[in-house]
Amino acid sequence: TYQQPVRLSEFNANIFYHEVRVPTYPLFDYPPYETALSSTMVDVIVNNQIDLLHVHYAIPHASAAYMAKKILEKQGLRIPVITTLHGTDITLVGRDKTFAPVVTFSINESDAITAVSQNLRDETYKHFKIEKEIEVIYNFVDCARFAKKPIDAFRRVIAPHGEKILLHASNFRKLKRVGDVVQIFAEVIKKVPAKLLFVGDGPERPAAERLSRELGIFDEIRFVGKQEQIEEILAISDVFLLTSDYESFGLAALEAMAAGVPVISTNAGGLPEINIHGVTGFMSEVGDVADMSRNTMLLLSDETKLKQFRENAAAQAKKFDIHNIIPQYEDLYNRFLNNKQA
């Protein structure tokens, strides 16, 4: 890729980052990134004796992988390609008529295809002419990382008078509907003393700040920007709010649940595959601020129910623990590697 992944912040013995360098020429209005990406794939595979190529996101990685695969075949190397679909590559960008033929072709040319939720698999079949089986391998979470005890001093800074803490974390894109989060909080604090934490940054943050001022609740909200140690913030939170138009999976919700934080969410996309209504949290129709407000107050006003939902959320997250999901990928890899050796 052209930039080091955000979460690859520590040294790992078996993980290497190879930067895709795209030369710029006056001839091109737009640098040929996909061509450079394919060439980098070929270079890395040849020089590191790679046996299998697993790419994430159909755009641009599946099409670049197809090109790399064909180049390597000319060199006598047969490299299986696995493509994992994550969401926007299918539901947003992929449906654009500009990209759709390439997306369809490159997915079908992959040796195996996985999707991070049943919903995303169904959406892919619905909008593209996919001729192969799409296997569902869910996103995962490291439950051990999120099993943090709350730091009392930190909580007192945010909620000095013992208020409940609501949390929303996202990239503040329009589909996250952060305005709904502000409106939910405005209703909640009429009945329950609470604070709201916004983690992240993005184009809709100014609008959320403006709305909170208009509603007279800005002083009860903290916009803390991007935070790498989200687990420490989750540890002091009581409820996680996710009001999105669509989530192909909902990793932010899963991380909250791993920290034992119940989730108030929409029932959009893959969220019902994670968040169990009335067990690990509550789900509402997209845009139903009134229902999400009621559900939030229902949890925050009943300590016994909140405690039970916390336990339920943590237990549900364990089904998606890294130690349960990674073996599914390893089995998929071995299916091809064993055939290759044979």
The mean per-residue pLDDT over the stretch 139-161 comes to: 94
pLDDT tens for 86-102 read 987 787 765 678 888 88
Torsion of CA 68, 74, 79, 85, to 10 degrees: 30
Residue 97 has what pLDDT? 80
DSSP state of 141: B
Q: How confident is the model at residue 30 (pLDDT cuts 50, 70, 90)?
A: low
Model confidence at 261: pLDDT above 60: yes
The mean per-residue pLDDT over the stretch 44-68 comes to: 93
Class of domain 33-140+322-341: alpha beta
Q: Where in the chain is the domain with CATH 3.40.50.2000?
A: 33-140+322-341, 143-318
The mean per-residue pLDDT over the stretch 177-191 comes to: 98
CB contact at 8 A, 263 and 257: yes
Q: How confident is the model at residue 3 (pLDDT cuts 50, 70, 90)?
A: low
Neighbours of 17 (CB within 10 A): 10
Burial environment of residue 209 by CB neighbours within 10 A (0 to 12, 13 to 18, 19 or more): middle
The mean per-residue pLDDT over the stretch 283-288 comes to: 98
Minimum mean pLDDT among 9-13, 220-224, 315-319: which range?
9-13
Residue 93 has what pLDDT? 64
Location of structure tokens 């709010």:
241
The mean per-residue pLDDT over the stretch 26-31 comes to: 66
Identify the helix (H) or strand (E) that includes residue 291: helix 289-300
CA distance 342 to 321: 32
Model confidence at 25: pLDDT above 70: no
Q: Which two tokens stand for residue 316?
A: 């549900």
The SS3 call for residue 115 is strand
Residue 89 has what pLDDT? 77
Percent of the chain predicted with pLDDT > 70: 90
Model confidence at 5: pLDDT above 80: no
How, if at all, do strands 53-56 and 112-115 pair? unpaired
Model confidence at 20: pLDDT above 80: no
- Name every residue whose Cβ is closer than 8 Å to that of residue 90 and which is 6 or more positions away in sequence: 58, 103, 120, 123, 124, 127, 128, 248
Burial environment of residue 264 by CB neighbours within 10 A (0 to 12, 13 to 18, 19 or more): buried
Model confidence at 342: pLDDT above 60: no
CA distance 247 to 131: 25
Residue 4 has what pLDDT? 57
**Residues 110-149: b if buried by 16+ CB within 10 A, e if exposed:** bbbbbbbbebbbebbeeebebeeebebbbbbbebeebebe
Region of 280 please: left (phi>0), alpha (psi -120 to 50) or beta: alpha
Average pLDDT of every residue of the chain: 92
Identify the helix (H) or strand (E) that includes residue 7: none
Q: Where are the beta strands (DSSP E) in the chain?
A: 53-56, 81-85, 112-115, 134-136, 164-169, 194-199, 221-225, 239-242, 263-266, 281-284
CA distance 92 to 198: 25
Residue 98 has what pLDDT? 81
Residue 252 has what pLDDT? 97
Residue 34 has what pLDDT? 81
Would you identify the CATH topology of the domain 143-318? Rossmann fold (3.40.50)
Helices (H) and strands (E) in the chain, counts: 14, 10
The mean per-residue pLDDT over the stretch 176-202 comes to: 98
The mean per-residue pLDDT over the stretch 221-250 comes to: 96
Residue 228 has what pLDDT? 86
Neighbours of 236 (CB within 10 A): 22
Q: How confident is the model at residue 157 (pLDDT cuts 50, 70, 90)?
A: very high
Residue 294 has what pLDDT? 98
The mean per-residue pLDDT over the stretch 270-288 comes to: 98
The mean per-residue pLDDT over the stretch 211-229 comes to: 96
Phi and psi at 240, nearest 5°, equal -110, 130
Q: How confident is the model at residue 38 (pLDDT cuts 50, 70, 90)?
A: very high
Q: How confident is the model at residue 298 (pLDDT cuts 50, 70, 90)?
A: very high
CB contact at 8 A, 145 and 259: no
